[in-house]
Structure 1
Amino acid sequence: MKKTKNALSMAMVVAVTVTSAACGNGGGSKPAAVTSPDAAASVKPVEAAKAKEFKMTLRHIEVRDTAKSNLAILQDVVKATEAEVPGLKFELDGVEDVVNRDTKLKAEMQAGSPPPIFDLFGGADTTNYAKAGRLLELTPIIAELGLKDKFMNLNEFSVDGKVYGLPRSGFIEGVFYNKKMFAEAGVQVPKTWDEFLKVCEALKAKGITPIAMGGGSGDGWVINMLTNTLMVRLGGPEIQEGFAKGKSKWTDAPVIEAFKKLEELKQKGYLDKNVIATKYADGQAKFYTGQAGMLFDGSWAASGIMGKNSKVADDASFFNFPSMGGPGDDMINGGWSNGYGFSSKLNENELKAVKSFIKNFYTEANQKRALKESGNTPALKLSDIGDAKGLVAEVVQGQVSAKKGAFPAFDALVSPAVKKTLEATMEELLGGKVTPEKAAEKMQAAQTAK
C-alpha cells in the first residue's frame, strides 16, 4: 500500500513538471517534446468551427443607370451584413420597379413565397400583403434596434398600428426647369396656373418642348404624377383619400377639371407630342440633354439631371407646382412609399440577417450619402443635410416651401386595379381616345368594381 502511494506521488510530480514546461512556452521556448506515440496522436490543433453557409435573396430595383449610387450603397450594406452574420451570402436580384411591383412580387405573394428581403411599395400593397400574413412585423425589431422614432413617417408601411415595411427614402414631386431656357424666353418661375401656361407658351414660341414626359409603353404612372397633383390642387388631399372610402368619386367636379387641365396641356402642345409613345427614361433624358424646358418628376430624377450624360447640370433648378385656386394649393406631392419588406417565413439565421441588414442600411451616414449622390429625400430624421448642395438642396427646399405639408401619391391609397386603370385611361385621354368626362366615368366604374 505504501509502495503504491509513493509511485502515485512520483507520477504526479512528473505530470506537474511537464505541465510547467509547456506553460513556459509563452516566453518563447519550445514546448516539451511528446515522446509517446499515443500522446502525439491525441494532440490536435483546435480550429474555430466554420459556420454553415446559407443564402438569402435580396430583391432590389436599383437597375437603371441613374440608380448606380443607390446600388453602391446597397452593396456596401450587403458586405457589412455578410461580415456580421456567420455563413450569410446574399444573392442580389435586380428587377425593374414596375415589373417587381406589378408582376413578380404579386405572383410570389399569391404563392406565399416572396424573397426574404424585397423592394416593397407602401400603402395598399403593404396593407394587402400584411393582412395576407406575408410580411414580417417590424414593430419590435425597430424598437430593439433603436429606430422606432428615427423615421420621418411610417404611415404608408403601417397596418392597424403595426409596422410591416421600412421606407428607404422619401420623394417629392414637382417641376425641374432649365434656368437658362427660362431666361432666354423671358419668363420666371410661375406662381399660378395662368402664369404656368404663359411660361409654356413662351418656351414653345422659342421652339422648345415646354414639358418633357415619357408615359407610354407601360409607363403610364409617369402621367399620373402630374394628374395626381392637378387633382389635389383643385380638390384638396381629401378627394383622393376618399376614393377607397366612398367619400369621393372620380366623377366629382375637381377630378374632371384636373383631367381637362391635363388634356389642355397636350392639346396646346405643351407636353411632349410623343408622350404616350415614349418610355419614362427617354422622356426624362429629353430634359437633361437640353431638349425641353421643364420636367415634372420626382426627386429621384436629380441623379440623372446631375449625371455624366446631362447637358443641363449647371442650369437645372426646381419649383413646387403652382397654385390653381383650390384647397390643395401650397402642398406638395410627397411621401415615403418606396422601401423594403421582409418575408414572414424566416428561420432563425435569416431573422438575424434581416436585423443586421436593417441596422446597417438605416443609418444617418447612408441617408446623407443617398441625399448627396442620388437626391434621395431622407427617410430618417437627420440632424442636418450634410454637404448636399446645388440641385439636391433645392429639391429638398421644395419640400420645406410646401406650407400646408405633403400629400401622398394616389396609388398608395387605391387598389392596384384602380391604379392600372388610371394609367391606361390617362394614356387614352392624351391620345384623344376619350374625353375627360368619359375618363372619369371609366375610373369610377373601376373603383366601384374593385
Structure 2
Amino acid sequence: MPAIKRGLVLATAACALTLNATAQTLTIESWRVDDKDLWEDVLIPAFNEHNPDIEVRFKPTSPTEYDSSINARLQAGTAGDLITCRPFDVSLNLYKQGHLEALNGLWGLDHYQDFAKRAWSTDDGQTAFCLPMASVIHGFFYNKDIFEELDLEVPATREDFFGVLETVKQDSSYTPLALGTNDQWESNQIVFTNIGANHWNGEEGRMALLNGEAKFTDPAFVDAWEDMARWGDYMGRGYEAQTYGDSQNLFALGRAAIYPTGSWDIAYFNDQALSDFGAFKPPVAEEGDTCYISDHTDIGIGINKHSENTEAAKAFLNWVASPEFADLFTNKVTGFFSLSNHDVDVQDPVAAEMISWRQECESTIRLNAQVMNRGTPNMEQELWVVSSQVLNGTLSPEAAAEKIQSGFAQWYEPQSE
C-alpha cells in the first residue's frame, strides 16, 4: 500500500472515535477571515467524510481584533471549542491562564518535528498546548520578464544580489527593490530576520542569544544590518513614505525587479501580478555555504479547556495532523505550508520552489519570536524602529545593535552581564 494511502487509512481510523449518538458541534475560533470559504466548502466537508456526526463551524474574527476578542470570550466562557493559536507567547499565556487544554498524548503530535512543536509548547518543552498547523517561508520574489530583459541570473550569493540590484539601477528605469519603510514592520519581519539567518546561522545564533552566549553587538548580527544599510540606494524614490500596499502594487504592476517578502504573498500576486514571477532564497556569503531560511511557525490549533466536546475536538486535531489535511491546506491556502512531516505534492510553482528550500537549507524561525519579546522595552517594536532607520540611513548598524542589546540586557538575565 502506498505511504500516502496508508497514512490516510490510519488518519481515518484515528479520527473515527466512538462518540455519543447525538451529533456534536465544534466551533473554530480563528483570525483567518480570508479562509472562511475554504473551511466551509473544502476542509470541514473533508473532515465530515470521516466524522459525519461532528458538526463543525468556522467563526473568524478580524486579525486586528482577534487577540483581544478571544481573550475576552475565553474569560467569559463564551469561546468556541477549537482555538486557532498564534505562535509562542500569545498562546503560551492563554495556556498559563488555564484556557487551553494540554495535548500531551495526542497521537497527532507524533507527525511534527520538535522545531514545529516549539512554538506551542511550554518553555521546558514538556507540555504541548496547540497542534502545529502551518508556517510561512521568507525569501524574495523576482519579475521574470525584467530578469530576462536585462539578462540577469537569479542571485545565489550576496555579491550576486547586489550585482543584480546595481544592474537594474544602472541599465533600466525599473525600481530594483520594491520595499518601503513607512509601516516599519517589514524592516524586521521581512528583511532583518529574512536575510539575517544566513549571518547568524539560524537556530545556532538564535539559541546563542537566548543562552547568553552571544550578543546583538557580535559581528554576525551587526553584519545583517550592514547588508541592509546598502539597500537604501536601490529602494526607489520616496521609499521612506512607501507603505506595504504601495510595495505590493509596485511589484504587481511590473515596475520593480525584486520584492522581499514571505510566502503569504503568493496568492496576492497570483491574482494581481501583470508579469510572471519566481522566488529565490536569501543569498549566502559564498557559493556552497550552508543556507538558512526563516520557516516561521505561524498558525497552530488548540482546544478550549472548558469545551464540553473535548473528545470530538481531539478527533478534529488528529485529522489536522493527517496527510489529507496537509495536502488540502498547503494547496488551497497557497503560501501557508503544513508543518507536519507528511510529503505534499505542492501544485503552485512558486510555493513549490519555496517549500523545496526545506530540503536544501536549515530552517529557523523569526529571531525574536521566542522569549525575546517578553520584556520592556519590547524587542519587536524596537526592531521595527531600528531596522527601518538603518534602511533609511539615519542609524548606523553598530548603533542599531547597541540599541537592541541594551534593551535586551535591561530585563533578560542571561544577557545582563
Q: Which residue of 2 aligns with 1:286?
A: 250
Deviations 1:400-448 (A, max 9, x none): 222xx11211132222521222112223333444332222222123212
Residues 1:396 and 2:361 aligned together: no
* Structure ranking higher on relative contact order (CA contacts 8 Å, 6+ apart): 2
- State the distance in 2 between where 1:273 and 1:243 align: 36
Q: Which residue of 1 aligns with 2:292?
A: 331
Q: 1:369 aligns with which of 328, 343, 347?
A: 328
Farther off after superposition, 412-421 or 72-81: 72-81
Deviation, structure 1 residue 60? 2.0
Farther off after superposition, 171-180 or 221-230: 221-230
- State the distance in 2 between where 1:358 and 1:298 align: 26
- State the distance in 1 between where 2:72 and 2:392 align: 31
Q: Which residue of 1 aligns with 2:61?
A: 94
Per the alignment, in what secondary structure is the counterpart of residue 111 of structure 2?
A: coil
Map 1:403-414 to 2 at 5 A: 405-413=362-370, 414=372
Residues 1:139 and 2:104 aligned together: yes
Contact 1:62 1:94 in 2 (8 A): yes
Q: 1:299 aligns with which of 235, 238, 263?
A: 263
- State the distance in 2 between where 1:279 and 1:188 align: 28
- State the distance in 2 between where 1:326 and 1:123 align: 34
Per the alignment, in what secondary structure is the counterpart of residue 326 of structure 2?
A: helix
* Number of equivalences: 380
Contact 1:59 1:95 in 2 (8 A): no
C-alpha distance 123-197 of structure 1, shift in aligned 2 (>3 A): same
Q: Which residue of 2 aligns with 1:260?
A: 226
Map 1:115-264 to 2 at 5 A: 116-140=81-105, 142-143=106-107, 147-152=108-113, 153-159=116-122, 160-205=125-170, 206-214=172-180, 216-217=182-183, 220-221=185-186, 223-237=188-202, 238-264=204-230
C-alpha distance 353-174 of structure 1, shift in aligned 2 (>3 A): same
- State the distance in 2 between where 1:257 and 1:395 align: 25
C-alpha distance 389-90 of structure 1, shift in aligned 2 (>3 A): closer
Deviation, structure 1 residue 222? 5.4
Deviations 1:207-249 (A, max 9, x none): 11122235533x6145433211333322323222233332222
C-alpha distance 113-261 of structure 1, shift in aligned 2 (>3 A): farther
Q: Which of structures 1 and 2 has the bigger CA Rg?
A: 1
Deviation, structure 1 residue 197? 0.5
Q: Which runs of 5+ in 1 are unaligned?
A: 1-48
Contact 1:176 1:295 in 2 (8 A): yes
Q: Which residue of 2 aligns with 1:62?
A: 32
Deviation, structure 1 residue 113? 8.1
Contact 1:236 1:327 in 2 (8 A): no
In the alignment, residue 235 of structure 2 is paired with which amino acid?
A: L
Deviation, structure 1 residue 110? 8.7
In the alignment, residue 373 of structure 2 is paired with which amino acid?
A: S
Contact 1:178 1:316 in 2 (8 A): yes
| TM-score normalised by L of structure 1 | 0.73
Q: Which residue of 1 aligns with 2:386?
A: 425
C-alpha distance 275-53 of structure 1, shift in aligned 2 (>3 A): farther
C-alpha distance 222-166 of structure 1, shift in aligned 2 (>3 A): farther
Contact 2:26 2:312 in 1 (8 A): no
Deviation, structure 1 residue 72? 0.9
RMSD of the TM alignment (CA)?
3.4
In the alignment, residue 369 of structure 1 is paired with which amino acid?
A: L
Q: Which runs of 5+ in 2 are unaligned?
A: 1-19, 412-417
Per the alignment, in what secondary structure is the counterpart of residue 327 of structure 2?
A: helix
C-alpha distance 379-50 of structure 1, shift in aligned 2 (>3 A): closer
Contact 2:101 2:305 in 1 (8 A): yes
| TM-score normalised by L of structure 2 | 0.78
Residues 1:415 and 2:382 aligned together: no
- State the distance in 2 between where 1:88 and 1:384 align: 27
Deviations 1:335-393 (A, max 9, x none): 4332223333323x3x244224324444323322333331332222224416x152222
Per the alignment, in what secondary structure is the counterpart of residue 368 of structure 2?
A: helix
Per the alignment, in what secondary structure is the counterpart of residue 336 of structure 1?
A: strand
Q: Which residue of 1 aligns with 2:407?
A: 446
